[in-house]
Amino acid sequence: MPRRTLFLITAIVLALHWLVLGGVSLGWDHAPQPAGKVFSTRSIATAPPASPPPAAPAAQISARAPQRPAPAARPAPRQPAATARQPAPADSAQADTAPAAATDGSGESAQPLADTDVAAAAQTDTGTAAAPSPLAPASAASGPVAQAAPAPASAPSPASADTSAGAGVDISPPGDGPGRSTSSAPPPARLPPPARLAFDVSGQAKKFAYNARAELLWQHDGARYEARQEISAFLVGSRAQRSVGTISSQGLLPDRFSDKSRSEQAAHFDYAKGRVIFSANTPEAALGPGTQDRLSVFIQLGALLAADPGRFVPGTHITLTTVSARSADRWTFSVEATETLDLPAGPTEALKLQRLPRKDYDQKAELWVAPALGYLPVRIRITQANGDFADLQLRSRTTP
């Protein structure tokens, strides 16, 4: 085969890998940020006050002017020595922080390895419409936790910024709107039996149409559970999410959630401390009652409906904290009407739930659960603000 033909085939395969794998949706991914110039930010210590206290003027001397003469009122014999010693630590701190400030202001990375690692990790979590880019924002999700930058030593603790993420489960009847009747603990749940669900996937990523296969494996023994979802496409690889944890009368209590595409990131649930800790070193999140991850939320929503179907009439809103591999946020789902879906597995009666976006650029997420299958998901459709989408439709159900 001519060398030029081999080169063209290789280029096409690499292009398909970049387009589709970067655009494949798995679970409730984060919505992309609005278009515009993107740059990373870094917290640095604030400058000392411009007006120093009268009692200690020497301590406020600017590090950029170490040779400024001392005030005339100060005793001459000791002032030069104090002035000579003062700039040393300040100059050292300025030497460390100045390159960072220049990097942040220009948007050009002076530390490409560190910034690229953060951006590549964020692509696992930013949603399917976000193109891979070394300048991608480190926090691509919406919400108070995702938008919070690492705080300096003098700033408030992250716990004060994620109070809402630590709230419980909110179930609002029709007409009340979301956020009107928060409960301190999750309502009862009835989990479905173990199952292996196979899906046909059709979608569009960056205007490129694709077809793929997906599988959701759900297993439990009454005490612990494991859920794993993987989507794969020919020649472009796969992406997988996994949730493991324990089972209570209120449903699932995740211990660990992982998301793996090019690399793996994870969230760890520490119930003793009431915190969620992220392997990406993003700020911790509050761990409130009923908190789920991006995969366990599929099962938990169905389990809530199965335990008390009469409570979740159309128009009911369910709000609970959901955790990705990088952050946590409050998501609200609206219970819609029952529909009969024409799926690859055959006609299936299913109840529709829809995530209510909070911002214009939030993704639209639709979930259909089937009462005949213990309210397991039989269709999942995620649509991004730019029109890209992924549509998973049940092809078969077997016992693992």
Q: What is the DSSP letter of 371?
A: G
The reply to whether 120 falls in a domain is no
Asked if the structure places residue 307 within a domain, the reply is yes
Asked, for residue 20, whether it belongs to a domain, the answer is no
At 178, list the tokens. 């979301």
**Cβ-contact 346, 353 below 8 angstroms:** no
Residue 240 domain-assigned (yes or no): yes
Angle at 382 between CA 379 and CA 387, to 5 degrees: 135
Task: Please answer whether residues 317 and 172 qualify as being in contact, where contact means their C-beta atoms are separated by less than 8 angstroms.
Answer: yes
**The residue type at 294:** R
DSSP 62: -
Domain range for 334: 159-398
- Residue at 140 is within a domain: no
Q: Which residues contact 61 (CB under 8 A, 6 or more apart)?
A: 68, 83, 86, 87
pLDDT string in tens for the chain (400-residue length): 667 777 677 767 666 655 555 555 554 454 444 444 444 444 445 555 555 444 444 434 334 444 454 445 554 445 444 444 444 443 333 333 333 333 333 333 333 223 323 233 333 333 333 333 222 333 333 333 333 333 333 333 343 344 466 689 999 999 876 655 545 567 899 999 999 999 999 998 888 899 999 999 999 999 999 999 999 887 768 899 999 999 999 999 999 999 998 899 999 999 999 999 999 999 999 999 999 999 999 999 999 999 999 999 999 999 999 999 999 999 999 999 999 999 999 999 999 999 988 887 778 889 999 999 999 999 999 998 888 999 999 999 999 9
Please compute, for residue 274, the number of CA atoms within 13 A of its CA located in the half-sphere on the CB side. Answer: 11
CA 90 to CA 72: how far, in whole Å? 23
- Residue 110 inside a domain? The answer is no
Q: Which of 55, 47, 41, 153 has its CA nearest to residue 90? A: 47
CA dihedral (289, 296, 241, 112) positive or negative: negative
Q: How many structural domains are present in the chain?
A: 1
What CA–CA distance (Å, rounded) separates 199 from 382? 14
**268 within domain boundaries:** yes
Structural domain contains residue 148: no
3-state secondary structure of 102: helix
> pTM here?
0.62
Among 285, 324, 283, 268, which residue's Cα sits nearest to residue 123?
Answer: 324
Indicate the burial class of 336 (C-beta count within 10 angstroms; 0-12, 13-18, 19 or more).
Answer: middle
